[in-house]
């Protein structure tokens, strides 16, 4: 098989995914929050969770799930569930603020690697536009990639997840390298800002879910 079409699929998938990753969202907020505790590993761990979920979704889509995800009811359900998850995470962050301090060697199990991976999964589910992206652009690109068989889908997925990995690893490096400039007060402000951002996203997702379902 000619490798040029496969490289084209990989390149286009990388660029399209990167354009989405660069936009602010819950994953970016979580990357900043976790990176102040865990350093440069936080971004890759979040994307590992994100990638596990997306791999499952790709398998489901090529197995015939498309009729169930490309409809308003699905968007509504994901929007409500996503908003609840975002509100819960924001509440947990706000509640922890009074006791937060810059302990870079923290052994807090809530900040463990497995917990960050789970956050990557939950935050992806919590974003209804992640589902919309996959039900439209992602689904169409998968069908195009499938014309080149399993290799086409593999090249698509690797390009897609690599874009997320590169961007969020870059964010983690940037945050962790700036740790010496962060005081406890500034750190708490950062966490509070992240929590507020999650609440704003939750409200917007609720509005979008109800607006689309009853339009």
For residue 160, which of 126, 128, 194, 124 has the smallest C-alpha distance? 124
DSSP 135: I
pLDDT for the residue 93: 79
pLDDT for the residue 191: 75
| Domain locations along the chain | 3-18+25-213
> What's the CA dihedral at 157, 131, 122, 104 to 10 degrees?
60
User: Taking the chain, what is the end-to-end CA distance rounded to the nearest angstrom?
Assistant: 47
Instruction: Give exposure, 86-116, as e/b (b: 16+ Cβ within 10 Å).
Output: bbebbeebeeeeeebebeeeeeeeebeeebb
Whether this prediction's pTM lies above 0.75 is answered by no
pLDDT for the residue 100: 67
pLDDT for the residue 104: 42
Q: What is the rounded CA–CA span in Å between residue 195 and residue 203?
A: 13
pLDDT for the residue 141: 78
- Which residues lie below 8 Å from residue 139, measured CB to CB, with a gap of 6+? 61, 66, 69, 70
Residue with tokens 């917990």: 115
Which structure tokens are listed for 149? Answer: 């068989």
pLDDT for the residue 51: 93
CB 78 within 8 A of CB 149: no
Low-confidence residues in the chain, pLDDT < 50: 103-110
- Which residues lie below 8 Å from residue 143, measured CB to CB, with a gap of 6+? none
């Amino acid at each position: 098989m000619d490798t040029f079409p496969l490289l084209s699929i990989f390149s286009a998938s990388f660029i399209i995914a990167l354009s989405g990753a660069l936009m602010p969202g819950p994953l970016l907020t979580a990357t900043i929050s976790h990176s102040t505790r865990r350093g440069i590993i936080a971004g890759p761990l979040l994307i590992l969770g994100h990638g596990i979920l997306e791999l499952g979704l790709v398998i489901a889509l090529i197995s015939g799930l498309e009729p169930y995800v490309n409809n308003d009811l699905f968007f509504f359900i994901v929007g409500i569930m996503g908003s609840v998850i975002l509100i819960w995470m924001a509440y947990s962050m706000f509640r922890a603020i009074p006791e937060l301090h810059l302990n870079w060697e923290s052994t807090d199990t809530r900040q463990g690697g497995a917990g960050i991976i789970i956050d990557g999964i939950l935050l992806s589910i919590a974003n209804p536009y992640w589902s919309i992206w996959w039900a439209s652009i992602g689904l169409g690109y998968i069908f195009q990639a499938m014309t080149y068989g399993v290799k086409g889908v593999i090249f698509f997925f690797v390009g897609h997840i690599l874009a997320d990995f590169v961007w969020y690893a870059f964010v983690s490096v940037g945050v962790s390298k700036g740790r010496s400039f962060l005081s406890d007060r500034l750190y708490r402000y950062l966490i509070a800002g992240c929590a507020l951002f999650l609440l704003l996203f939750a409200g917007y997702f609720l509005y979008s879910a109800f607006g689309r379902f009853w339009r």
